[in-house]
Structure 1
Amino acid sequence: MIDIEAVTEGFIRWISGPNFRNPYSKATIRIYGRNVHRFLEFLDFDGVERISEASIHLVRKFVMTGQSGGTAPVNTQNVRTGALALFFDYLESTEEHGPFSGNPARALIEDQKHKKGGNVGKATARLRPVLEWDDMDRLQYEASKQETIAGIRDAALIGFIFDTGLRASEICALPHSAAEYYFQGRLRVIGKGDKERLVRFTPEHADRLRAWIRTRARVVSKSDALFLTDEGNALSTQVLYMIVRRLLDRAGIQKAQQGPHLLRHTAASRWLAKGMDLRQVQENMGHSNIGTTSKYLHLLG
């Protein structure tokens, strides 16, 4: 059974948060949140127990149906479609309610374009969800420019995410002892749903983490966390987000998403571009469905 209130609140937090370079207005957030809530109620009424079961047929039915069973006005249809397209982006990015075989709202948009004879076969205009090779180089260069405690930590962090593809919460939960396993190219982590997985990778940025370990030893702290703030506290996901966004801004990199999840997406594409087996990337990312992992194929040449 779908927890309508919790899912809607999660979506609203996501769309209200610092996930977008151009933030949505309060009015848009309110309207989109209301439409997502109604869509979830619609699924529940239709007997759908999991959001991942929502097909393009169900999305079309919700979008098109107006009051008293008639056809909804075009403006209403557009708002609903826009809200749901973003909603399924949210679900795919959080990976909590999948597995998904695609975004049914965006599939509906493409289907409508096809029927109208316009832009046939052309993908919906969206910023790519990963960094290009030159973006990665610029970001790592920017991260390594500061020789302060924070600068050395930030350089290690960026390299660490590119190497491991871990989620922000997983990175912040790592103990100091995890560094030893990173250097071995094997990290065992507890991910979403308390699921344990073994992440295998090549520690290409080991020198940066070693520099941070040496620097970390000079930070007064009671925390056992691998990554610390300047004050010696364990790094929080909020602080990690701000670090990544600040570095992206300084590097002049503009993407729709601006946080650690963008780097996680990039890690998956980077592995595949370098020849890692798709099944291993699936395990590293913690995806329950290999179809989710396959979306990263060919994003990097």
Structure 2
Amino acid sequence: MFAQLFKRASAVARHSTAPFAEERIRYLNYCVHRGDSYWSVRRKAHDLLWIAQRLQHRNNLRVTVDQVRSLVVDRERTSGPRLDLPTTRRRLIANACTWIRFLGSLREPIEHIPFGSRLDEYADWAKQERGLSDATIDRFRRNVRQFLKWYGPLGRPLSSVRATDIDGYLAFGRDRGWSRVTVSNTVDALRAFFRFGGQQGWCNTHLANAIPRPRIYALEGLPTGPSWPDVQRLLATLNTLRPADVRDRAILMLFAIYALRESEVANLRLEDIDWQHDQLNIHRAKRGKAQVYPLLPSVGNAIVRYLRSVRRNGKHREVFLTLVSPFRPLSLSGLYDIVSYRLKSLNIQSPHYGPHCLRHACGTRLVTEGLTLKEIGDHLGHRRTASTRTYAKVNLPGLREVAAFDLGELA
């Protein structure tokens, strides 16, 4: 391995005779196999050599992230990388932790969640018995986990939770700026969790019904998203040769034109694109089944351009991958960051900046184009027509017709 990276015999000997040479070779071979560039692997070899020399007094590599950080941050520079540069320190820490984690030796910090086993029981039941989507279960887990972390320090068992405890937690959230919708979502998660707990016998069976829920008025809000001219401006700015722009343009087109959810774009696989019939097979997150869309030429060309010039070939079947090694599928948070960054960089005004705002922009545009709510609901993948009714409030021409209705003799 080292002979392939370095031409000078002295450099090969220095890397080969340094501590943990076998462990470094294993990791560098892995990096080559997954598609890292020559210069990237060479840079990592230098960084790992520097780290290995500072770990040579240890019998093994069982270290924590804090111990790795102390090697980089607490040591004055004598030779090697420029430790006075923050970017260099971050790179060294990241490469060291990734290497040691690959070897299975990094002692990861474990977040202790009070009553975490109960939360795991509920999540498994919600998945297997109720058939809730992964996104819904993740949202419930986050909300319940925050409550358990707040309740745990009180030193009482889960069976002793009272409605007043939950009132106190919700008051704590309101003091931190929670909106009524946030409080309502938290209450929904806690009700589901404690209802399951009552059935299992590890909490009061009446606790779930005693949790007060704030009143949320049906269709009280408007769909919030950028205007369609802003969406067009956003897509136009990404028509460049930069790899990030090529990939992000295809992603944003799926959000804005097909109104896909984050999870639907993240889970889009190569086999879901039927190039022969120009169709997209989208596995709808809430409908639980696939929905077929015609593949528009503009979207198809954007995806083809990304697949041919940017995407790295590998074992992953998901369409959209990260741009740097390790090349892995984009996460939901990664997709959120892409949309948020692109909107804010153009100073596009929107109440929200995640992928869902582009979904709302698409729905609003379909209303202005004169499509029926049924057609819009089908395009958005809604299970119920009630979910689409909110878009009736942005149909200003239709509302003006209602307002201008002539009552004739009754006027």
Please state which band the TM-score falls in when normalised by the shorter chain.
Answer: 0.5 to 0.7
Q: 1:1-301 residue pairs with structure 2 within 5 A?
A: 7=140, 9-10=142-143, 27-29=176-178, 84=214, 88=216, 102-103=218-219, 106=220, 129-144=224-239, 146-180=240-274, 184-192=278-286, 195-201=288-294, 203=296, 204-216=298-310, 219-231=312-324, 232-297=327-392, 299=394
Change (3 A) 1:277 1:184: farther
Deviation at 1:180, TM superposition (A): 2.7
Deviation at 1:9, TM superposition (A): 4.5
Question: Share of identical aligned residues, percent?
Answer: 20
String of CA shifts for 1:2-25, please: whole Å, max 9, x gaps: x9x975954998xxxxxxxxxx99
SS of the residue aligned with 2:255?
helix
Change (3 A) 1:7 1:223: closer
Alpha-carbon distance in structure 2 between the residues aligned to 1:34 and 1:294? 23
| More deviation, 271-280/30-39 | 30-39
Alpha-carbon distance in structure 2 between the residues aligned to 1:188 and 1:257? 25
Change (3 A) 1:35 1:259: closer
Deviation at 1:211, TM superposition (A): 1.3
String of CA shifts for 1:211-239, please: whole Å, max 9, x gaps: 1122245x243211111110321111111
Alpha-carbon distance in structure 1 between the residues aligned to 2:335 and 2:268? 13
Alpha-carbon distance in structure 2 between the residues aligned to 1:233 and 1:28? 36
SS of the residue aligned with 1:187?
strand
Change (3 A) 1:31 1:170: closer
Alpha-carbon distance in structure 2 between the residues aligned to 1:39 and 1:239? 27
SS of the residue aligned with 2:274?
helix
Contact persistence 1:176–1:224 (CA under 8 A): yes
The residue type paired with residue 359 of structure 2 is R
String of CA shifts for 1:155-211, please: whole Å, max 9, x gaps: 111112222111100111011122336972442414136x11424356243322221
CA RMSD of aligned residues (A): 4.1
Contact persistence 1:163–1:202 (CA under 8 A): no
Deviation at 1:293, TM superposition (A): 1.1
Change (3 A) 1:11 1:277: farther
Contact persistence 1:174–1:226 (CA under 8 A): yes
Deviation at 1:152, TM superposition (A): 0.3
Change (3 A) 1:12 1:300: farther
The residue type paired with residue 177 of structure 2 is T
TM-score between the two structures when normalised by the length of structure 1? 0.57
Contact persistence 1:244–1:259 (CA under 8 A): yes
SS of the residue aligned with 1:200?
strand
Alpha-carbon distance in structure 2 between the residues aligned to 1:34 and 1:278? 29
Change (3 A) 1:33 1:157: closer
String of CA shifts for 1:98-125, please: whole Å, max 9, x gaps: xxx825xx5xxxxxxxxxxxxxxxxx8x
For this pair of structures, how many residues does the alignment match?
215
The residue type paired with residue 222 of structure 1 is K
The residue type paired with residue 243 of structure 2 is I
SS of the residue aligned with 2:306?
helix
Deviation at 1:247, TM superposition (A): 0.4
String of CA shifts for 1:2-61, please: whole Å, max 9, x gaps: x9x975954998xxxxxxxxxx99722499967876798899xxxxxxxxxxxxxxxxxx
TM-score between the two structures when normalised by the length of structure 2? 0.43
Contact persistence 2:260–2:380 (CA under 8 A): yes
The residue type paired with residue 334 of structure 2 is V
The residue type paired with residue 102 of structure 1 is A
Deviation at 1:299, TM superposition (A): 3.1
Stretches (4+) displaced over 6 A: 30-36, 38-43
Change (3 A) 1:196 1:215: same
